[in-house]
Each structure stands twice: as C-alpha cells, then as structure tokens.
C-alpha cells in the first residue's frame, strides 16, 4: 500500500519545485534564527537570496556530528523552547549525545514518514505492531510507535529486552508486525527456535521493520525464513528526526527517501564535491520541513549511491543503494580498510556458521592483530578441534580473499557470543591511537 501517493509518486520535476520552495524557506530560517549557520554562511560569502533552486544546495555549508556536539544542547535550534514538544538524544559512544528537538509539526511529519514505511507492509487497523526498539531518548521506540498510531494500528510498546516475555506476548496478543534492530530480531528468532511452547509458524507475524544498524541480505534471508515474515529495511538517523527518513518498498531494491522532507546528496568524502549521478560516496541530507532543528547538508558518513530511476512499485522517490558501511566504522588493520559488515556478509554464505561474530583488534609488537570470534550452529558444532577444521578452512580462505587480510579465527560454542537487545556491538578496537594519530 502507498500511504501518500501525492508525495511518494510525485513527478520528479514537480518534486524539484517543491524541494526548491522548501529549501529556500529552510535556508532563510537557518540564516535568521541559527547563529551557527549565519556564521558559516557569512564566512563563505553566501546569503539566503543566493539560493534560488534546489541545485544551489551545493553552495551551502556542511554540518557534521562534531558541529552538533559543539552546539550541544540547543545551539542549532531555530524556535523558542515554548514551541518545542519533545527532545530526543542519541546515545553517542563518546562525549555528549546528539540532541534532536521537535515542534508539534515536526512530530506529525515524523509520524507521517514512519507511516509511509509501515504502509509498505499494509499496516492498518487491527494490526498489532510490536515495537521492540528501546523507548526513551533513542528515537527508535517512540518513532515507530507514532508511525503505527498514524495508520490506526494497535501499538504494543514492549521496548527492548526481556526476550522470553516479548515472545510470549507476540504469541498471546497476535503480533502481526515487529519493529526492532535486525540483530535483536535475530536474537528473538533464535529464542523462538529454542522455545518448547512457541513455534514461528503458529505466530501471526507477517512483516518486520528493521533498522538503526546496517544489515546484510544474509541476515534478511535468515530473518524471513526463521520468522516467516517479509523483512523491510527502515532507514533513519536522529539528526534528521529518527527512523523513517526512508524505507524499502516490497521490491527491496534500495531504500526510498521521502524527498519532500529530506534532500539526499552524495559527495566525495575527500574533496567534498558532489559525485556524478549514481556514483558511490558519502550520503548527505538536508531537512526540508524541520522547524525546531533544521539541518543543512548533514554528513551521515554512510557510504552508498543514489538510484534515480522510477521504481517498479510506482514511487518516484529516489532510492539509496546498499549502504556499504560507515566511514566511521571502517577499521584500518595493517593498512587495509575493513568494514565489519563484510565479515557478516561472508559468514552468511556459510550455512554451518551463525551470523554472530565479534572482532577484536589490537597491536602487538608494532603489528595489528585481527581476531575474529565466530559460532558454529548447534548441529555442526563439536568440541573436538579436528572436527571443526573442515568448516574453518573455507571460511578462512574466503575472509582472506575478500578482505585481503588474514584474521585469527576462533570457533566458539553455539550461543556464546553476546546477543544485543539494541544496536549490536561487533568490534573491540584495543589499539591506542593517541601515539600515532
């Protein structure tokens, strides 16, 4: 189902006109109400009246995660606090969190965006939407919740954790849609497999909306098979509002961006220049409707490309191609660029291994070490190392050939790698960078 055909299927020329109109308004607000943007634009010699078309967006300054932290908590806000209705914040691995504030209009627009994604799974009255994203400062829980409400569905706010109870409620309340991180969904699927009382085929679950971390096709296939569902990717980031900046349609061929609200660009992360249409680079977003905290050209660090062709689903909204990783998550090990998501993608090629993994990077005798913990599935596991050899060799060869680096692979017993209830943590980088960076 297409929730808002007028916006999702708008002819591209018309969409450009709407984007131009909204960009001009956003830039004017930023210049007049947010000293941070006035300073940046003055320094570049740009005035709001220089922006007359959406193409002029490349003249505008970028915003980075560091800018958001420097302006913590409300330095980027364009409205008085009396107009703010909610505050969210990302957990942030170091230092101050990234803050997002919302007017009532912002909250309504956000619910609309999430509703567009949920509508792909035909969510409506009578559907029980189990929201197993964390509720709280994290945008996942309340974001998915408000989207489900917008469609008239039944909201089941289980939040994350307490997996036994999640599964019991899923069965007893007849959950039809699950919203959570893909890693938590996988954990729930494993719990269902082990359960004596709950069987996946007896659940009413038919669709899952998974996001907040990158996931591979292997994980998708695994979730679809284990939970008997269609697994839909929901994309978003706190800086732009939260989940629902875009989402997949039923064809799962890229992630549609709700372009009437968020304008995506791809830039070369080195030169900061726009790349040619369709080329890979860093994804950048400008908010076109946000009132409380409008953001110009936010550098997401996500590496991907944009697909402009009209989709088979009828939507004209541009699609984000596969996200290859985040430039932030990239590990440089012995001079080689390694994305943790590559490891996951390789693991899912081998049926004997579970997709769970943990990478430990360290530096010993001036050389980087790369240790990879993996798990065999219960039916393939044996405590006898000799019996593990037939499994480990092909995996090791594949890792070496794809990544160009030799890991120390350790096989652990089933279910010994810690499962996550929120965003999965896959890496411990113990190296001390302070000496050489």
Q: Least Å distance between CB 404 and Zn ion?
A: 35
CB proximity list for 319: less than 8 A, separation 6 or greater: 246, 253, 254, 255, 256, 257, 306, 307, 311
Report whether 244 contacts 289 (CB < 8 A): no
Task: Give 78 or 320: the residue with its C-beta nearer to Zn ion.
Answer: 320
C-alpha–C-alpha distance, residues 280 and 197, integer Å: 47
Task: Give 167 or 311: the residue with its C-beta nearer to Zn ion.
Answer: 311
The DSSP letter of residue 70 is: H
Task: Give 46 or 257: the residue with its C-beta nearer to Zn ion.
Answer: 257
Size (the chain), residues: 437
C-alpha–C-alpha distance, residues 183 and 191, integer Å: 13
Query: Which of the stretches 33-41, 181-189, 241-249, 411-419 binds Zn ion when contact is defined by CB under 5 A?
Result: 241-249
Pinpoint the alpha helices (H) of 121-241: 139-150, 163-172, 182-194, 217-227
Query: Which of the stretches 14-22, 93-101, 313-321, 360-368 binds Zn ion when contact is defined by CB under 5 A?
Result: 313-321
Cα dihedral across residues 71, 73, 75, 76: positive or negative:
positive
The DSSP letter of residue 274 is: B
Q: Least Å distance between CB 315 and Zn ion?
A: 5
Q: Least Å distance between CB 386 and Zn ion?
A: 50
Task: Give 170 or 249: the residue with its C-beta nearer to Zn ion.
Answer: 249
* Binder of Zn ion out of 76, 120, 311, 352 (CB under 5 A): 311
Q: Does 249 bind Zn ion (CB under 5 A)?
A: yes
Q: Does 411 bind Zn ion (CB under 5 A)?
A: no
Task: Give 230 or 315: the residue with its C-beta nearer to Zn ion.
Answer: 315
Residues in contact with Zn ion, shown as a per-residue x/- string from 336 to 375 under the rule CB under 5 A: ----------------------------------------
Residues 60-119 that bind Zn ion (CB under 5 A): none
Q: Taking the CA of residue 407 as centre, how many other CA atoms within 13 Å lie in the half-sphere pointing to its CB?
A: 28
Q: Does 2 bind Zn ion (CB under 5 A)?
A: no
Task: Give 275 or 313: the residue with its C-beta nearer to Zn ion.
Answer: 313
Q: Does 313 bind Zn ion (CB under 5 A)?
A: yes
Q: Does 18 bind Zn ion (CB under 5 A)?
A: no
Return the structure tokens found at 104.
């009532």
C-alpha–C-alpha distance, residues 208 and 188, integer Å: 12
Binding interface with Zn ion (CB under 5 A): 249, 311, 313, 315
């Amino acid at each position: 189902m297409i929730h808002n055909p007028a916006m999702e299927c708008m002819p591209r020329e018309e969409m450009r006109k709407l984007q131009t109109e909204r960009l001009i308004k956003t830039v004017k607000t930023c210049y007049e109400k947010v000293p941070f943007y006035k300073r940046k634009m003055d320094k570049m010699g740009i005035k709001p009246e220089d922006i007359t078309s959406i193409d002029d967006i490349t003249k505008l300054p970028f915003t980075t995660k560091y800018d958001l932290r420097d302006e913590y908590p409300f330095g980027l806000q364009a409205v008085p606090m009396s107009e703010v209705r909610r505050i969210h914040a990302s957990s942030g691995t170091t230092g101050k969190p990234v803050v997002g504030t919302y007017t009532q209009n912002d909250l309504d627009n956000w619910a609309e965006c999430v509703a567009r994604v949920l509508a792909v799974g035909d969510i409506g009255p009578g559907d029980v939407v189990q929201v197993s994203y964390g509720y709280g400062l994290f945008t996942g829980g309340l974001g998915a919740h408000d989207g489900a409400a917008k469609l008239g569905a039944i909201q089941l706010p289980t939040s994350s954790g307490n997996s036994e109870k999640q599964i019991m409620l899923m069965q007893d309340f007849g959950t039809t849609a699950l919203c959570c991180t893909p890693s938590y969904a996988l954990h729930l699927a494993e719990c269902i497999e082990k359960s004596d009382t709950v069987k996946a085929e007896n659940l009413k679950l038919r669709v899952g909306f998974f996001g907040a971390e990158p996931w591979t096709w292997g994980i998708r296939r695994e979730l679809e098979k284990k939970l008997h569902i269609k697994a839909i990717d929901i994309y978003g980031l706190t800086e732009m509002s939260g989940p629902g900046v875009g989402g997949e349609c039923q064809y799962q061929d890229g992630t549609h961006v709700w372009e009437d609200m968020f304008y995506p660009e791809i830039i070369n992360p080195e030169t900061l220049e726009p790349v040619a249409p369709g080329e890979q680079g860093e994804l950048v977003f400008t908010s076109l409707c946000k009132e409380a905290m409008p953001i110009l050209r936010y550098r997401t660090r996500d590496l991907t490309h944009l697909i402009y062709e009209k989709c088979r689903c009828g939507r004209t909204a541009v699609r984000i191609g596969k996200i290859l990783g985040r430039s932030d998550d990239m590990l440089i090990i012995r001079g080689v660029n390694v994305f943790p998501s590559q490891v996951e993608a390789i693991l899912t090629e081998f049926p004997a291994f579970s997709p769970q993994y943990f990478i430990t990077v360290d530096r010993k005798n001036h050389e980087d070490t790369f240790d990879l913990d993996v798990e065999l599935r219960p039916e393939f596991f044996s405590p006898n190392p000799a019996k593990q050899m037939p499994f480990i060799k092909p995996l090791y060869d594949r890792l070496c050939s794809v990544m160009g680096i030799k890991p120390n692979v350790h096989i652990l017993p089933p279910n010994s790698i810690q499962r996550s209830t929120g965003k999965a943590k896959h890496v411990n980088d113990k190296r001390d960078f302070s000496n050489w960076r």
